[in-house]
Amino acid sequence: MADYDLIIIGGGIVGASAALAGVRKGARVVLIDAGLAGRATDAGAGIVSPVALDRGEQRPEWTALITECVGYYESLLAELDAVDPAGAGSATYEQVGELVVAGDDPGEQAALDVVAERLSTPEGRRSHGVTKPVEIVEDVRTYWPELRRDLRGLFITEVGRVVGSRLHDRLLTAARRLARAQSDGAGLEIIPGAGVLDAGSPRVRVGHRVLDGRAVLFATGAWATADLVPYGVQIPVRPIRGQLVHLRLDGQQTGMRPVVNTPGSGYLLGFDDRIVAGATHEDVGFDARVTAGGQHAVLQAALDLAPGLSAATVLETRVGLRPATSDGLPLVGAVAPAVHVATGLGAWGLTLGPLLGELAARHALGEQLPERLDFLSPGRPLTKESA
Ligand SMILES: Cc1cc2nc3c(=O)[nH]c(=O)nc-3n(C[C@H](O)[C@H](O)[C@H](O)COP(=O)(O)OP(=O)(O)OC[C@H]3O[C@@H](n4cnc5c(N)ncnc54)[C@H](O)[C@@H]3O)c2cc1C
């Protein structure tokens, strides 16, 4: 008999969500994480939005998926708060709205107009799960006094922000507590180290330990390609480095400020104790360094948007490797008998990770994947180049 029903390799937001889902189903789960530098979940800025600014409506199934994943946050948070009431708080998640801004540049204005147009009709809003009409904001400085005066904005209420590392920790806390409360053999073990899959069987080696599972789920983010090569499985995922800067504005309440986003690059998020400015998109391989050029680019974008931040204190820098695919869509499903993947969440992982991690775990434990996820099949044709 196998030691575990589900072996999860990779403990970012996807792996942690999968672990909770496995325990909920009464499974014996082990989560293995190597603690590699560049874990995206620890760096992720935290925008949880049902509206993609960088894509049109060519893929309704993608829009529907994002909308479903944002909607899932509510029930997930209710569950986490019920299991771990002491952990409830705005750092996990808060719906603060989003101010999409554009300056005089005709390209920026046109991009803003496209978003406004998409959300101008009840049908357009419904497809994004947006219930309240979006509002044109002439004076964006009523929300963020530090913003440039000439910016025009569009306010979308149904956008939230989350601290990825905090949500991750709460998912694991909930999974541990549920496992302890169950009497049917469910369990969660967490093992630090690099998991290596044996060829031809759902058996994983971690250091000197050999773990036998009924199924293995790779939630290894940007590292998925390398992890699966020995198994003969081609998963073309590559790292896209993102650097951020965390700032503090003394004497200002920033916790309930809306996300400031742009159709081009650059965004700002307000949390109780900091402002997060992001982010670079760098195709530089597995290099998780914070660089002078990266920080320069982030600060330049942030101060261009909000010159009033120039005197803010720099608290820290963050860097993470987004797991990207050539078509910009995640990979969820089986790649070999009893071997599954859930990766490639790119710049959307904090939004999509909780639900996709859960569905991937349930699939690995024997449930059908919903047909609406067919477009995420790891068997679809993909190239090695990143989107
Ligand atoms: C700068 C930046 C800003 C972002 N902003 C947002 C945002 O605003 N909104 C949003 O929705 N998303 C955002 N994202 C994207 C999001 O953070 C990622 O898509 C998401 O965190 C990916 O989660 P993951 O679990 O797939 O991977 P990761 O969090 O990278 O976790 C993968 C884990 O697998 C482990 N691992 C790898 N190989 C092995 C092995 N062989 N054995 C054991 N462990 C292994 C690693 O150590 C790592 O801990 C951002 C990302 C970055 C970098």
> Mind listing the pLDDT tens digit for each residue in 228-261?
877 778 888 999 999 999 999 998 999 999 999 9
Ligand 1 mutation target, pool 322, 339, 352, 355, most atoms within 8 A of CB: 322
In Å, the largest CA–CA distance within the chain is 67
In a domain? residue 318: yes
Q: What are phi and psi of 162, to 5 degrees?
A: -140, 150
In a domain? residue 270: yes
In a domain? residue 350: no
Tell which residue, 349, 373, 340, has the closest CA to residue 7: 340
> Does ligand 1 come within 6 angstroms of the Cβ of 294?
no
> Does ligand 1 come within 6 angstroms of the Cβ of 50?
no
Report the CATH number at residue 296: 3.30.9.10
> Does ligand 1 come within 6 angstroms of the Cβ of 277?
no
In sequence order, which ranges of the chain are alpha helices (DSSP H)?
13-24, 40-43, 60-83, 106-118, 122-127, 164-181, 224-228, 292-305, 349-364
Give the chain's domain count. 1
Residues spanned by the domain of 247: 95-159+238-324
> Does ligand 1 come within 6 angstroms of the Cβ of 45?
yes
305 Cα–ligand 1 center, Å: 27
In a domain? residue 316: yes
Among protein residues, the one with the nearest Cα to ligand 1's atom 27 is: 221
Atom of ligand 1 nearest to the CA of 320: 53
pLDDT per residue as tens digits for the range 25-36: 999 999 999 999
| Residue reference for tokens 């609406």 | 372
Q: What is the pLDDT along the chain (387 residues), one digit of tens a residue?
A: 789 999 999 999 999 999 999 999 999 999 999 999 999 999 999 999 988 776 655 688 998 999 999 999 999 999 999 999 999 887 789 999 999 999 888 888 888 888 898 889 998 888 888 888 899 999 999 999 999 999 999 999 999 999 999 999 999 999 999 999 987 778 999 999 999 998 878 899 999 999 999 999 999 999 998 878 777 788 889 999 999 999 999 989 999 999 999 987 799 999 999 999 999 999 999 999 999 999 999 999 999 999 999 999 999 999 999 999 989 999 999 999 999 999 999 999 999 999 999 999 999 999 999 999 999 999 888 776 544
In a domain? residue 17: no
> Does ligand 1 come within 6 angstroms of the Cβ of 35?
yes
CB 43 within 8 Å of CB 134 = no
Q: Tokens in use for 340?
A: 């599954």
In a domain? residue 329: no
Atom of ligand 1 nearest to the CA of 279: 1
241 Cα–ligand 1 center, Å: 11
Among protein residues, the one with the nearest Cα to ligand 1's atom 37 is: 220
Q: How far apart are CA 332 and CA 338, in angstroms?
A: 13
In a domain? residue 24: no
